[in-house]
């Protein structure tokens, strides 16, 4: 979505609010960019009145360019991504962190260094009281081979077991890339958590939204 599309998006949300028999909220999933923080706050949250921003940390700066984390296979780069993501989490503009395990998508051997990165992200979320999202959309994506066998790109069980052990605030959600898959994605995420023995929070309550 470009900035020029925001008025149309807002109008469609307002129309949906009138027709739906459940609460509809106006929000955006955004990357983190220090130089755009004021724009996120003043324009999206201020001028346009967004109810919330979701932190989707897909890209991080590296050697003067931006690199897509899901394509990273070199573990030495993970800490740079984690530090950048934590910086965004601390900005105070996001309601929750989407697919926090995305940094493990391209990693085939999840070792102690990977788990240390997971710990840093989970600890930061706990310090901030920020919910972490099990993203059910990942459950319909193609799988990858890891050293312990076939697995989802995300969610990554090793990450979520760690998060549960640390009493992280965990919610289930799904991307809207395929509209017809959203509700199924959320339900799949809930079932995935149940299979791992992980307790999840009611997303609306965790984010301070009403059910009706």
Residue 182 lies in a domain: yes
Q: Tell me, yes or no, whether 13 lies in a domain.
A: yes
Indicate whether 114 belongs to any domain: yes
Q: Is residue 211 part of a domain?
A: no
pTM of the model: 0.95
Residues 6+ apart with CB under 8 A from 19: none
Domain membership flag for residue 80: yes
pLDDT in tens, 86-137: 999 999 999 999 999 999 999 999 999 999 999 999 999 999 999 999 999 9
Q: Dump pLDDT digits (tens) for 164-174.
A: 999 999 999 99
Task: Tell me whether residue 212 is in a domain.
Answer: no
CATH code, domain with 174: 3.20.20.140
Q: How confident is the model at residue 212 (pLDDT cuts 50, 70, 90)?
A: low
Average pLDDT over residues 127-151: 95
Reported as type and span, the H/E element at residue 68 is strand 65-68
Q: What is the mean pLDDT of the chain?
A: 96
Neighbours of 10 (CB within 10 A): 14
For residue 150, the model assigns a pLDDT of 93
pLDDT one-digit tens code per residue, 13-30: 999 999 999 999 999 999
Tell me which residue range forms the domain holding 193. Answer: 3-206
pLDDT tens for 25-53 read: 999 999 999 999 999 999 999 999 999 99
Domain count across the chain:
1
């Amino acid at each position: 979505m470009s900035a020029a599309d925001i008025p149309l998006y807002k109008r469609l949300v307002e129309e949906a609010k009138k027709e739906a028999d459940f609460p509809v909220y106006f929000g955006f999933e955004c990357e983190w960019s220090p130089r755009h923080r004021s724009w996120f706050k003043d324009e999206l949250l201020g001028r346009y009145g967004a109810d919330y921003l979701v932190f989707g940390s897909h890209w991080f700066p590296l050697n003067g360019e931006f690199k897509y984390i899901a394509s990273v296979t070199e573990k030495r780069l993970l800490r740079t991504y984690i530090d950048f993501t934590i910086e965004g989490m601390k900005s105070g503009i996001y309601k929750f962190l989407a697919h926090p395990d995305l940094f493990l998508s391209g990693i085939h051997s999840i070792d102690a260094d990977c788990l240390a990165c997971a710990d840093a992200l989970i600890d930061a979320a706990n310090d901030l009281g920020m919910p972490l999202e099990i993203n059910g959309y990942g459950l319909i994506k193609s799988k990858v081979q890891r050293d312990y066998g076939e697995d989802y790109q995300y969610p990554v069980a090793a990450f979520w077991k760690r998060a549960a052990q640390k009493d992280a605030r965990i919610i289930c959600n799904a991307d809207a890339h395929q509209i017809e898959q959203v509700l199924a994605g959320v339900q799949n995420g809930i079932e995935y958590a149940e299979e791992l023995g992980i307790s999840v929070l009611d997303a609306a309550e965790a984010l301070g939204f009403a059910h009706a």
